[in-house]
Chains A and B, each alone.
Chain A
């Protein structure tokens, strides 16, 4: 007994925090007893600190930003800009002005496509994406391609489900103006070595965009260490509110980019003949922004940095290892290939049972997972799967949640057995 207790204590130290204690920070679990939430890759639950911060802001400090001369508006503006500074520290950006608040990673990528892409891409140019991408990093490029006529190339995965880096490098040519990749594939959990790809892209003079939706909540992201030109992530997957997200862009790039949406707050001077625009980031934030969302996101980042992002990463890696160890031996259960490093997400197929049936039966056991194509249909086609079941982890999950998942999968298999 003592040895087991020592082991548990050692584990807690190793992962830096106790998921059971973390779970108590999230009111959803008290309000849904027995909930085994394994769908953080779709959206993470919110700690009380974030919920309270948003509520308190509306109750005590709310006014529009950047407009009023009265004190309340000035205080609101200050908190909104503090949130920007908070995000800049989170990503280790060089300047606060490199942080643009958007609705989510999807809007962040669309901003790059519609502003940078529309201004700088010409017929004959090439944009390189990968087979691991979410639709949000495929379709915006297709829409612009159809308008402009550049070539959209796709770097393939290899047999292990990871990116084939040699092929990717070979696909980058002097015509390549942009390489846009996911940091962590949402459909399979495959980690992508973005630092290496940044070097490959820059060696040929291409810009480099990273979709950081799944990585930002799970590990320390340092945009200067990665040396990416753009990095997008969503607040709601990072324990913050819905409706807020972040686009990081290198300052000199943002300064050269034209506005993509126009309205209030992004202009310097307007006449009916000519309008001049603000510098970044204001140039890209037309209209009243999601003020409470930005402030709530800052609190969410405080929260996970308080837990420690190294500890969060170790925790998610340990859960992933535990999940692989428990699921790989299950007869009739196949983990979808995820390359050299599977992280935070377990995508799997159960022989003879459709993913939606798996998810429905898991739901009966209070295990919440996602089933479907995960907005990555081209990747599903490549893997020859119509859909998968996906369990994904957050800071509040523990080994017991994975045990519950495994027990529910076994129950589904029993129900469907001949």
Chain B
């Protein structure tokens, strides 16, 4: 695989200029993700109302893959119901880990396609965790509310 396939323009762009890259004053949920292998850290903030993600943002430092993945994640999660978010996460996780990808609703297909530039990591087992770090933090935030739980990728 050429490096351009792993580092597509969309990844380089989101890595350099991450979207929704800020803290949140009163998140209903937040959690930290830590990849001890490379020291990458991300905190994902959520504002959830009536099972709907009203707002989502993140902070942290990491490689281009993990930053771009977090950035794209915030873009696709905003406005989704928790059930929709869960479906996107399952499909994305399966995609980058080389698992069997469950069918996504037609309604979510565009959002799932937006995550496609990250597929390249599946050829690089050590980089898969970079792509999933923010998603694991998102899951931990859902589970633990505003306690600021930490999830590790090892």
Q: Which residues of A contact B (CB under 8 A)?
A: 353-357, 360-361, 364-365, 371-373, 377, 380, 386-387, 411, 415-416, 418
**Contact at A355–B38, with CB atoms within 8 Å?**
yes
**Contact at B12–A415, with CB atoms within 8 Å?**
yes
- 30 A-B pairs within 8 Å (CB atoms) are namely A353-B64, A354-B38, A354-B63, A354-B64, A355-B38, A355-B63, A356-B38, A356-B63, A356-B65, A356-B126, A356-B130, A357-B65, A360-B3, A360-B6, A360-B127, A361-B7, A364-B3, A365-B3, A371-B38, A372-B37, A373-B38, A373-B39, A377-B39, A380-B39, A386-B39, A415-B4, A415-B7, A415-B12, A416-B12, A418-B16
5 closest cross-chain pairs (CB), A and B: A354-B63, A386-B39, A364-B3, A356-B63, A357-B63
Of all chain A residues, which has the CB nearest B67? A354
B127 CB to nearest chain A CB (Å): 6
Given A364-B2, A386-B61, A416-B12, A357–B7 Cβ distance below 8 Å? yes
Residues of A contacting B127 in the complex (Cβ-Cβ under 8 angstroms): 356, 360
Residues of A contacting B4 in the complex (Cβ-Cβ under 8 angstroms): 415
A188 CB to nearest chain B CB (Å): 16
The contact of B3 among A353, A354, A361, A373, by CB within 8 Å, is A361
Residues of B contacting A372 in the complex (Cβ-Cβ under 8 angstroms): 37-39
Residues of A contacting B119 in the complex (Cβ-Cβ under 8 angstroms): none
**Contact at B3–A415, with CB atoms within 8 Å?**
yes
**Interface Cβ pair total, 8 Å cutoff:** 56
Residues of A contacting B130 in the complex (Cβ-Cβ under 8 angstroms): 356
Of all chain A residues, which has the CB nearest B5? A364
Residues of B contacting A387 in the complex (Cβ-Cβ under 8 angstroms): 38-39
Q: Does B40 contact A (CB under 8 A)?
A: yes
A364 to B130, CA, bound (A): 18
A276 CB to nearest chain B CB (Å): 44
**Contact at A416–B64, with CB atoms within 8 Å?**
yes
Given A356-B63, A416-B12, A416-B16, 7 other A-B residues pairs in contact with their CB atoms under 8 A: A354-B63, A354-B64, A356-B65, A360-B7, A361-B7, A415-B12, A418-B16
Of all chain B residues, which has the CB nearest A371? B38
A387 to B38, CA, bound (A): 6
B65 CB to nearest chain A CB (Å): 7
Residues of A contacting B40 in the complex (Cβ-Cβ under 8 angstroms): 354, 356, 386
Q: Mark B18-40, 1 if CB is under 8 A from A, else 0.
A: 00000000000000000001111
Of all chain B residues, which has the CB nearest A380? B39
Residue among A356, A373, A387 with max Cβ neighbours from chain B (10 Å): A356
A354 to B39, CA, bound (A): 11
A377 to B37, CA, bound (A): 11
A271 to B2, CA, bound (A): 65
